[in-house]
Amino acid sequence: MRFGFTEDQQRFRADVRRTLRSAEVRAAAAEATGTDGVEPDARPLYRLLGKLGLLAVHWPVEFGGEGRPLTDAAIVAEELVRAGVPDTFHVNTIQIVGQFLLMAGSDEQKRRYLPALARGESFASVLYTEPDAGSDLAALRAVAEPDGDGYRITGTKVFSLKTRFVDLALCTARTTPGTGKYQGISLFLVDMGASGVTVSVIPGIGDEHFHRVDLDSVPVSGDDLLGPRDEGWPLLNEALAIERTGLDYHLKAEHWLEAALDALIDHTPDSPHDDRVEQIGRWYGALTADHVLVWEALTGLASGRVNQVSTAVAKYHSSELAQSIAAWAADIPSPEQRANRTRAALTLDSAYREAPGLTLSAGTSEVMLQIMAAAFDSIGQEDH
């Protein structure tokens, strides 16, 4: 269990923080931040971050990184969010797709894709969820049919973020239908500019838009099969565990609580807010505990341990906490702050609309509870 940072980690954090305070980064971050359902193109900001070497510090040097520990990448992720950098591109491109490529990709795939991702010249997303499948990823119906040395993928994926801006997608499809719910599934790297790919926006209330991706006999090279054919389900479970450290949800909870405090101080600076002080203290206590859970999951991954239970605990706690803070803070901005469109008011309005989705993405809270319950049940059986 980690309760503090080493001197090297503290020095590294200070260096990253100084870099992100530059006028150039701050201006680019402001341009990339969306409000009122308007989603700007954040790629120029990420190209700048790539030039500064801040996107994939833990990747090997040969693949565009600096060879630092995974925990240093988490420090960068924390400081990016605290500097006002919208995090979805980083989460999807670096923390999910890029990290999965490091874990399961061939050397050729790593050389082909990772350097451009690390430089902010290419972006990635995931195509897992399908219509009517809910959170059951094994209910997928997309099919990858053999075509010469490659495949053609046909199906529909929904609820991916930033998809109209990305170049590459990690996609699930059935390569051998009829072999069982969890069998015959494979993972592919799909060129989002390929023929047969159609991306459309799904209407929603968030500042970031969900997308529908229709795949109509999309050609995929055999070299873009990720891992062994028909053995995608175990790999997918590992990929999901990588997503479930809870770091991005924790940072949202932290950001939203700070915005709530800014709003309180701004519209009644002389009021002690006695009616809210106790709850504010409880939120900070919960955030501190959440940070420990998140870093327990992160340090496990950094040591090469993919612990499904610890990541489920971290994901569950952080997403539920973020949603609770957003709901509590929704009525804090005053009518004047809303009319003046202050930063705090806009942030909290956006948080209220985004927060419900946090307990659904990367696995619903119910799925996380099932993972925990199954683990505790197996421990109980062993004790008997």
User: Residue 41 sits in which domain range?
Assistant: 7-122
Q: Which of 65, 100, 122 is the last residue of a domain?
A: 122
Q: Considering the domain boundaries, does residue 163 fall inside one?
A: yes
Choice between 39 and 28, residue whose per-residue pLDDT is larger: 28
Which helix or strand (DSSP H or E) is residue 46 part of?
A: helix 43-51
pLDDT band at 114 (very low <50, low <70, confident <90, very high): very high
pTM: 0.87
- CATH number of the domain residue 154 falls in: 2.40.110.10
Average pLDDT, stretch 264-283? 77
Do both 108 and 23 map to the same domain?
yes
| pLDDT for res 3 | 59
Tracing tokens 């002690």 back to the chain, one arrives at 272
* Shared domain check, 273 and 358: yes
Q: Are residues 250 and 331 in the same domain?
A: yes
Residue 148 lies in a domain: yes
Share of the chain above pLDDT 70, in %: 95
Domain shared by 106 and 57, yes or no: yes
pLDDT band at 209 (very low <50, low <70, confident <90, very high): confident
Task: Tell me phi and psi for residue 355, to 5 degrees.
Answer: -55, -40
Q: What is the CATH number of the domain that holds 52?
A: 1.10.540.10
The domain boundary, picked from 200, 232, 264, lies at 232
In a domain? residue 167: yes
262 and 371 in a single domain? The answer is: yes
Cα–Cα dist 64/114, whole Å = 7
The reply to whether 304 and 369 lie within a common domain is yes
Give the pLDDT of residue 273: 55
Per-residue pLDDT tens over the stretch 145-202: 999 999 999 999 999 999 999 999 999 999 998 888 899 999 999 999 999 999 999 9
> 1 lies in a domain?
no
Same domain, 303 and 343: yes
Please count the structural domains in the chain: 3
Residue 274 pLDDT: 62
Nearest of 84, 115, 77, 85 to residue 98 by alpha carbon = 115
Instruction: Give me the CATH number covering residue 260.
Output: 1.20.140.10
- E strand map for the chain: 124-127, 143-147, 150-161, 168-174, 185-191, 197-202, 210-220, 225-226
Q: Which amino acid is at 358?
A: L
Do residues 280 and 378 share a domain? Answer: yes
Q: Do 204 and 259 have their domain in common?
A: no
In this structure, of 74-78, 97-101, 166-170, 299-303, the range with the lowest mean pLDDT score is 299-303
What is the pLDDT averaged over residues 7-23? 96
Place 2 in a pLDDT band, splitting at 50, 70 and 90: low
**Domain contains 325:** yes
| pLDDT band, very low/low/confident/very high, at 250 (cuts 50, 70, 90) | very high
User: Within this chain, do residues 249 and 177 fall inside the same structural domain, yes or no?
Assistant: no
Q: Are residues 258 and 351 in the same domain?
A: yes
Q: What is the DSSP letter of 176?
A: S
Separation in Å, CA 285 to CA 176, 259, 289, 342: 49, 17, 6, 27
Q: What are phi and psi of 94, to 5 degrees?
A: -95, -50
Is the CB of residue 58 less than 8 Å from the CB of residue 65? Answer: yes
291: three-class secondary structure by DSSP: helix
Residue 383 pLDDT exceeds 80: no
SS (H, E, C) 192-252: CCCCCEEEEEECCCCCCCEEEEEEEEEEECHHHEECCCCEHHHHHHHHHHHHCCCHHHHHH
- 77 neighbors 248 (Cβ within 8 angstroms): yes
Residue 238 inside a domain? The answer is no
271: pLDDT strictly greater than 70: no
How many angstroms separate the CA atoms of 259 and 347, rounded? 7
pLDDT of residue 187: 96
Q: Give 61-93 pLDDT, tens digit per residue.
A: 999 999 999 999 999 999 999 999 999 999 999
